[in-house]
Amino acid sequence: MQIALHTGLHETGADRLLRTLLRNRDGVRPMGVAVPGPGKYRRLISEWLNALGAEIPAPGTREVLLDAMLDEDGGHVDRLILSHENLFSVPKIAFQGGVAYRRAPRRLRALADVFAPDEIEIFIALRSPVTLLPALLATTPHQTLETLLGGLDPAELRWSELMARITQAVPGVPITVWCDEDSPLIWGQVVREMLGVEPSYPLIGAYSRLADIMTQDGMSRFRAYLGERPGIPEIQLRRIMEAFLDKYADETKIEDELDLPGWDAAFVQEMSDRYEEDMFDLSRLPGVTLITP
């Protein structure tokens, strides 16, 4: 069995991704693809990982987990889709000890051990620390960014370091990564790759993230344009989306308000530049595929 596991990160549209996956589950079920509801596995997996600690998974754990996840899919399942943005941690301890998602490697290793007979793929969305950290802070009890980060300098946050720790923990497991900022343009590809379907598969909600940042008039014109030109290649389609965004983007939904002490324009620009460099370094890690527009 193939298992596609989406693990967040926090504040990267995980709920939207899950909704899009669920909207398409009836269509992919005849293809042997199962998309169970989150109530079937999120709490179950979290509680199991918390209880496991550093112990070795008990024999039969795989069968117990799969039985709970697939009780609605009585037929043959070739591919199982799971999405759990709190798999690594809840938001308030995302940087516990000054390390980004320090428990991620161990937790993924435990899951890889349990599902050793299966082909696991990991999917992770990332986001610039410039916008992620203020958004994440707002969801936690922490009053300051310093307490959230546990001593980590925000300018030193590198997602490539997290990915390097993960690839070392689960060698040979393919990891697909994308930047949340690019989601409006690559949403269809992300969802199709998780589902394991062809690029031409008629996906429901392929443009839902694009609709989030475009005016209603712009989306109506965009859909009409595509309706008159079926079968547009993916590369050309992204150029078309960019052109429509240039003209019809809703600026009120694109701009993020940054109001953190010490974060002046120069510091924000420095962090943004480092994020771009970080993504370049990440794209060169063995076993990691970075989806870009």
Q: What is the pLDDT of residues 56-97, one digit of tens each?
A: 788 899 999 999 898 766 568 999 999 999 999 999 999 999
Q: What is the mean pLDDT of residues 98-119?
A: 95
CA distances from 36 to 29, 92, 129, 147 (A): 11, 27, 31, 36
Return the half-sphere exposure (C-beta side, CA atoms, 13 A cut-off) of residue 15: 1
Identify whether 222 is part of a domain.
no
Residue 47 sits in a domain whose CATH number is 3.40.50
Residue indicated by tokens 């009409």 = 224
Full domain range(s) for residue 57? 2-213+254-291
What pLDDT sits at residue 73? 63
Identify whether 235 is part of a domain.
no
Identify whether 239 is part of a domain.
no
Identify whether 227 is part of a domain.
no
| Preceding peptide of 185 cis, ω within 30° | no
Q: Residue 162 pLDDT > 60, yes or no?
A: yes
Identify whether 124 is part of a domain.
yes
pLDDT digits (tens, 9 = 90+) for 5-47: 999 999 999 999 999 999 999 999 999 999 999 999 999 999 9
**CB contact burial 14-49 (16+ within 10 A = b; e otherwise):** beebbebbbebbebbeeebbbbbeeebbbeebbebb
Identify whether 243 is part of a domain.
no
Q: How many structural domains comprise the chain?
A: 1
Give the range among 88-92, 256-260, 282-286 with minimum mean pLDDT: 256-260
Identify whether 229 is part of a domain.
no
Q: Report the share of the chain in percent with pLDDT over 90.
A: 84
Identify whether 226 is part of a domain.
no
pLDDT digits (tens, 9 = 90+) for 171-229: 999 999 999 999 999 999 999 999 999 998 999 999 999 999 999 999 999 999 999 98
Give the range among 110-114, 160-164, 246-250, 254-258 with minimum mean pLDDT: 254-258
Cα–Cα distance for residue pair 292/9, rounded to 1 Å? 17
